[in-house]
Amino acid sequence: MTDALAITRDLIRCPSVTPADAGALGVLEALLKQAGFETHRVTFSEAGAADIDNLYARIGTEGPHITFAGHTDVVPPGDETAWSVGAFSGEVKDGYIHGRGAVDMKGGIACSVAAVIEYLRGNDGKPRTDGMGSISFLITGDEEDVSINGTVKLLKWATERGERFDHCVLGEPSNQEVMGDCIKIGRRGSQSGTLVVEGKQGHVAYPHRASNPVPDISRLIVALSDEPLDHGSAQFQPSNLEFTTVDVGNTAGNVIPGLARAKFNIRYNDCHTQESLRALVEERLAKACGNRIRARIDWLPSNSNVFLTKPGAFTDLAVAAIESVTGRKPELSTTGGTSDARFISSYCPVIEFGLVGQTMHQIDERASVADIATLTKIYRGILDRYFA
């Protein structure tokens, strides 16, 4: 096995279903220590959330400083009897390595570790002695769940120690169809809330004595959904508001309910801040309610803000490394859901580039052995160019 494939296998064999670590960080720490990194295991706690173990490792003391980020926690495997091989076997079969986390994102972490170790050895197999700058790893076990005791706190801890990051590569599975087709340079923000409409409970035979919130919440859902929030921006697709549930909590067929609720989520672009977005939706709600409907929005706290790494020297460097290995010039994309890049972007420019994400979170999640080799070469190319 190549180094990257062997590391991927060893990580998959740690059943680190969030928030469990199951030895995954230990695998990485041992490799990085052997390569000369100074390592730190840091555990964070907060009431109402699981304690999370994190790993920070760095080699070098000078700039420029590039960090590779990622998470070793994975989603549950689901029905393990439905897998063609063991969900945590790391078995190589038909050109793929199988197991939960192979794509999202133990394979990506393994490739970055293998590429860095190879880079530090130098082309002649001897340890580098030039003043190359610094390389670090920010690895958490808290990305697939609430993201409270992971990257956001690890970054704060590192900064308080005096760490400063110049650029970051996050190994999330960014490619859509084939290696080299996409780099994520930003993500839309995410904001959730609940629309609450107040009525008055009563008997269906005497509607004049009640106030039915069901027709009202239906009108408000249409009003808030129909009008676009914006028409997109230079780097982002349009924002969208999607209602996901409607609930009146009523089990009786002859009772008009007194309250109706509808949950929604907004994925918003850089036309808005979290504050301006909320103000816009509240304004539209007030207009739709008029003087008759009594409604409010209960907003949920959100740490998923919109971010963008503007195209420039760093993205050009990554594009050149990808194109030299794959022959493809990747699209600079801002599509998709949230990731820990939303936290990292407050500290330094960050791009997301990892494996092809087609099987992530699925039964029989798997990564191509060839893609793992390709990604390792790309990361090595990024390092060569970064420290040139």
What is the pTM (predicted TM-score) of this model?
0.88
Tell me the per-residue pLDDT of 42-55, one tens digit each, with 9 for 90 and over.
999 998 889 999 99
Q: What is the residue-averaged pLDDT of the chain? A: 95
Scanning the chain, the segments in alpha helix (DSSP H) are: 3-12, 24-34, 107-121, 151-160, 213-226, 274-289, 313-326, 341-344, 369-386
Is the pLDDT at 126 greater than 70? The verdict is no
pLDDT at position 231:
97
Residue 207 tokens read as 């509607």
Tell me the per-residue pLDDT of 137-188, one tens digit each, with 9 for 90 and over.
999 999 998 889 999 999 999 999 999 999 999 999 999 999 999 999 999 9
Q: For 3-187+306-386, which CATH superfamily applies?
A: Zn peptidases (3.40.630.10)
- DSSP tag of 103: I
Cα separations in angstroms, 354 against 15, 66, 361, 383:
21, 16, 15, 15
Give catalytic residue positions.
Answer: 73, 143
Tell me the per-residue pLDDT of 143-155, one tens digit each, with 9 for 90 and over.
998 889 999 999 9
Percent pLDDT > 90 in the chain is 91
What is the C-alpha separation between 250 and 204, in angstroms, rounded?
Answer: 13
What is the C-alpha separation between 87 and 81, in angstroms, rounded?
Answer: 9
Domain residue ranges in the chain: 3-187+306-386, 189-299
pLDDT at position 214:
97
Angle at 39 between CA 303 and CA 308, to 5 degrees: 30
Pick from 142, 240, 252, 242: which is nearest to 195 by CA?
Answer: 242
Is the pLDDT at 338 greater than 70? The verdict is yes
CATH numeric code, 189-299: 3.30.70.360
Whether the CB-CB separation of 35 and 68 falls below 8 Å is answered with: no
pLDDT at position 72:
98
Banded model confidence at residue 191, pLDDT cuts 50, 70, 90? very high
